[in-house]
Chain A
């Protein structure tokens, strides 16, 4: 089967997301699609999958022009897609999610879930995708959820499979595992379109590479000859420094001391189990781990968002166990939260309002209960300038910014004042290489200015590049402490997977 996209154009209000894109793929090959944030990769794939309709251009399969009214048509034409944000119903079981839309039936409208379970088992045996068909999605780790997505696509007999940033959330071992699956799919004659921001992976797996910028294809590359920096430049349009430059650290006294900390998760189970560590002045400590091993709860406990069940937290020697977020803020702590849209920002508020979100109660932004919007706006404009936030004004809602710029707003707010301790969760999640470079620089300069920095990230590369010291978390405990220069991604990956 041969799939061609011809002259695809898609406009959103104010943006041309795809600009006359031509692309083709055949079964039995892996095409990698690269591009900075907002380049239009997901949009293009959504058009291919029938979710969006193109303003111009054609989708051609084996010479026939297709007319997709919705994903149903695309599925029927043999196209499957694993979305950047998983399209699973969290409260449904694996089997229910897999069969949704093409349900096996006993009789007139009555579901046959036994049949569904057998189908899931059959596919997971065939491709080594072990999952429990009865498990409820929201209780599964992301790695497994991704397997469910793949099973979903295979269950619909797709010939061409689209993967939108599938490796963003996986451990190195899971990535290896995933690449084996992809390879097997290719051997079985499936065509694969693979989107990622990780250039190393591209060179490892692609048969062909296409690069998008500002909605248009700016070039193709051959993985045999391409280099990481070459690809990065093609994506961003300027040379990018992929290395983090930092001087060796000279840690001072402990700013954060955590001892024997225990925290429960929402279900009331122990998420953090007797953890102890310190973060010192002029030091970056990175916490590595697969999502869901207690990092979220740890950070929430440290920043006053979650109740502590046992142990103590000292900040600059003062007891801040179970302090509230305000008290911790006032103790000189900056917090870049894990989920910027859920807690870091108030999307409907203007940038000014977001810039003073956690300091509005103090001079100069307010006096008594009277807000000083003038002072706030000045602060906002200062931060926009200093942190290069791309926005037409400080008075537009934060929801109007791109994800990378939203992240910059948070970083600017938190790093924009004098602090002693920085706690940053996933500081560069979903941010393109250009912005990553910038945020990493700022983190290092915070350290050099004398702050203690705690980074929590599921990106091993990021942890390796930034940290002076790395802690690996698994199942609520710290299972390893390493210095980056004395370990490797592979070794950390083993710890992250539970080996000790």
Chain B
């Protein structure tokens, strides 16, 4: 952050994008707000999450009345097992790390889709729908053409981007031309994309030959993202997707902070009137932003279809598109923040899977912990109050209401 304390006058609009300042390449990084606070936030979330886990264990709860001592040790036993499994499942070995990375890839890409929207003042809740359409585009390229790997994979990636971009451009266009709010239109387009995929999976062209199930044809091997460490053990799933995700994040960073288009995106996000005054074409920018955002989500869909799954089924995007909102918020809409948040959430997902496999604690608790992490990171004042940390962290302001 800067050396000058912001003096926001009461009659001036709040400075909502102060975090942008430290990424244009200037200013020093404050380790307290960028490392200490997030670490403490995760710690706090785990502690509060533990309370919810304990409350979910009825038998032990009953024990508190009769034998508090044993109840205490059982509670701690359960928690230790659960968090131990969570941690081992995320980081405890090659396979857990491979799983974490596999899961992080689509999260990062979808998170970027939401983050780019935020940077341009648009709230893209539609990552899920964009993923679905992007994935279907990649799917068709993946099973329809028989090409050499070096052409086929890039082609599938481009197709995924285009599919998502087309779907994303619709709300952008509607917002720019009719004022229809993107929050509404993206939500509706999610539902529509979901049904559309359901329908397409009943069409012979897409369906797996010889079956009537809503399962698509499989992507040809030449279009599948190669697994990275298959040579160690064929089970290690981590594939090209994570590399693509990180490269794309760098690309998005470059686009946002080093290119004229990114300057325009950020300008229109921070102040559309100012952007118009500066000669930017706001209508075009809204469409462009949403197309880029949609394209990024499309890549996440592509990662699922030609990366992890190799085919499409009903609702293959899962809830990644919604987790993406949390990720973008957590990463403060900065591409590198999103990468970090994506790795964190990927780890939680992989660890949660391991936790359900080895303990009695349901996997849904992971979602609760995710929500808690976001709360604590979004409200640094809370962390500062609890741990008495001195840091200049400010609460992130990424959205701007409904301002049209």
Q: Do A and B bind each other?
A: yes
Stretch at the interface among B39-47, B135-143, B209-217, B267-275: B267-275
List the B side residues contacting A357 at CB < 8 Å.
267, 274, 277-278
Q: Judging by beta carbons under 8 Å apart, are A353 and B263 in contact?
A: yes
Contact yes or no, A369 B18, CB < 8 A: no
Q: Is the CB of B270 within 8 A of A15?
A: no
| Residue contact A349 to B258, C-beta cutoff 8 Å | no
CB <8 Å contact, B2 and A397: yes
Question: Is B267 touching A396 in the complex (CB atoms < 8 A)?
Answer: no
Q: 1/0 per position for A350-392, CB-CB distance to B under 8 A?
A: 1011000110110000100111010000000000000000001
- Is B69's beta carbon under 8 Å from chain A? no
On chain B, the residues within 8 Å of A353 by CB distance are 24, 263
In the complex, how many angstroms separate the beta carbon of A41 from the nearest chain B beta carbon?
Answer: 13
Q: A342-B273, A345-B274, A347-B12 are in contact. Are A12 and B279 (CB under 8 A)?
A: no
CA distance A433 to B313 in the complex (A): 70
The answer to whether B2 touches A346 (Cβ under 8 A) is no
B269 to chain A, nearest CB (A): 9
Q: Which residues in A have their C-beta under 8 angstroms from that of B275?
A: 346
Which residues of chain A come closer than 8 Å to B266, judged between CB atoms?
349
A5 CB to closest chain B CB, in angstroms? 20
B259 pairs with A358, CB closer than 8 A: no
Q: Which of A309-353 contact B (CB under 8 A)?
A: 324-326, 328-329, 335, 337, 341-350, 352-353
Interface residue? A395 (CB, 8 A):
yes
**How far is B266's CA from A73's CA once the two chains are assembled, in angstroms?**
44
Q: A305 at the A/B interface (Cβ < 8 Å)?
A: yes
Q: How large is the interface on B (under 10, 10 to 19, 20 to 34, 35 or more residues)?
A: 35 or more
Q: Is the CB of B270 within 8 A of A348?
A: yes
Asked whether A395 lies within 8 Å of B274 as measured between CB atoms, the reply is no
Complex Cα–Cα for A306 and B52 (A): 57
Q: Which of A85, A326, A341, A349 has the most chain B CB atoms inside 10 A of its CB?
A: A349
Interface string of B12-46 (1 = CB under 8 A from A): 11011110110011110000000000000000000
A63 within 8 A of B: no
- Give the contacts of B254-286 with A (CB-CB under 8 A): 258-263, 266-267, 270-271, 273-281
The smallest beta-carbon distance between B151 and chain A, in angstroms, is: 26
Q: Are A346 and B270 in contact (CB under 8 A)?
A: yes
The answer to whether B7 and A395 have CB atoms under 8 Å apart is: no
B66 within 8 A of A: no
CB distance from B75 to the nearest CB of A (A): 45
**List of A residues within 8 angstroms of B6 by Cβ:** 13, 397, 399-400
In the bound complex, how far is the Cα of B5 from the Cα of A14, in angstroms? 7
Residue numbers in B under 8 Å from A358 (CB-CB): 277-279
**Complex Cα spacing A397 to B21, Å:** 7
A418 an interface residue at 8 Å Cβ cutoff? no
B16 CB contacts on chain A under 8 angstroms:
348
Is B3 at the interface (CB under 8 A from chain A)?
yes
Contacts of B232 in A (CB 8 A): none
Cβ of B150 within 8 Å of any chain A Cβ, yes or no, is no
A361: chain B residues within 8 A (beta carbon)? 260, 279
- Contact pattern, A 394-418, Cβ under 8 Å of B = 1, otherwise 0: 0111011001000000000000000
Interface pair B13/A373, CB less than 8 Å apart = no
- A229 in the interface, Cβ–Cβ < 8 Å? no
User: Chain B residues with Cβ under 8 A from A350's Cβ?
Assistant: 21, 24, 26
Q: Are A324 and B260 in contact (CB under 8 A)?
A: no
User: Counting CB contacts under 8 A, is B59 at the interface?
Assistant: no
Contact with A along B272-304 (1 / 0, CB 8 A): 011111111100000000000000000000000
A393 proximal to B (CB < 8 A): yes
Does B8 make an interface contact (CB < 8 A)? Answer: yes
The one of A392, A393, A395, A403 that contacts B24, using a Cβ cutoff of 8 Å: A395
Q: Tell me the smallest distance from the CB of A379 to a CB of chain B, in Å.
A: 14
A305-B276, A346-B271, A397-B2 are known contacts. Are A370 and B259 too (CB-CB below 8 A)? yes
Residue of chain B at shortest CB distance from A398:
B15
In whole angstroms, what is the CA distance A329 to B261 when docked? Answer: 18
Contact partners of A369 in chain B: CB under 8 A: 259-261
Q: How far is the CB of A409 from chain B (nearest CB, A)?
A: 12
C-alpha spacing A341/B274, complex, angstroms: 8
For the complex formed, measure the closest distance between the CB of A453 and the CB atoms of chain B, giving whole angstroms: 19
User: Is B386 part of the binding interface, using a Cβ–Cβ cutoff of 8 Å?
Assistant: no
Complex: chain B residue closest to A373, CB-CB: B25
List of A residues within 8 angstroms of B273 by Cβ:
342-343
CB pair B20 A85 closer than 8 Å? no
| Residues in A whose Cβ lies below 8 Å from that of B13 | 341, 347
A304 to B276, CA, bound (A): 9
Q: Are the C-beta atoms of B277 and A397 separated by less than 8 Å?
A: no
Contact of A371 among B5, B263, B279, B281 (CB under 8 A): B263
Report yes or no: B7 in contact with A373, Cβ–Cβ below 8 A.
no
Most central of B12, B13, B21 by chain A CB within 10 Å: B21
A305 and B4 within 8 A (CB): no
Is residue B67 contacting chain A, with contact meaning CB distance below 8 A?
no
Residues from chain A with Cβ under 8 Å of B5 in the complex: 13-14, 400
Question: Which one of B4, B9, B274 contacts A342 once the chains associate, using CB atoms below 8 Å?
Answer: B274
Q: Which residues of B contact A303 (CB under 8 A)?
A: 277
Asked if A343 and B274 sit within 8 Å, CB to CB, the answer is yes
Assess the B20–A349 pair: CB atoms within 8 A.
yes
Known A335-B277, A344-B277, A396-B21; contact A371-B270, beta-carbon cutoff 8 A: no
Using A343-B273, A371-B258 as known contacts, list a sample of 12 further A-B pairs with CB atoms less than 8 Å apart, ordered by residue number in A.
Answer: A342-B271, A342-B273, A343-B274, A344-B274, A344-B277, A346-B267, A349-B20, A371-B260, A395-B27, A396-B2, A400-B4, A400-B7
8 A-B contacts (beta carbon < 8 Å): A13-B6, A324-B279, A325-B279, A346-B267, A347-B15, A349-B270, A395-B26, A403-B9
Could you tell me which A residues sit within 8 Å of B by CB distance? 12-15, 84-85, 303-305, 324-326, 328-329, 335, 337, 341-350, 352-353, 357-358, 360-361, 366, 369-371, 373, 392-393, 395-397, 399-400, 403
A-B pairs, 7 with minimum CB distance: A326-B279, A348-B17, A343-B277, A395-B26, A399-B15, A325-B279, A358-B278
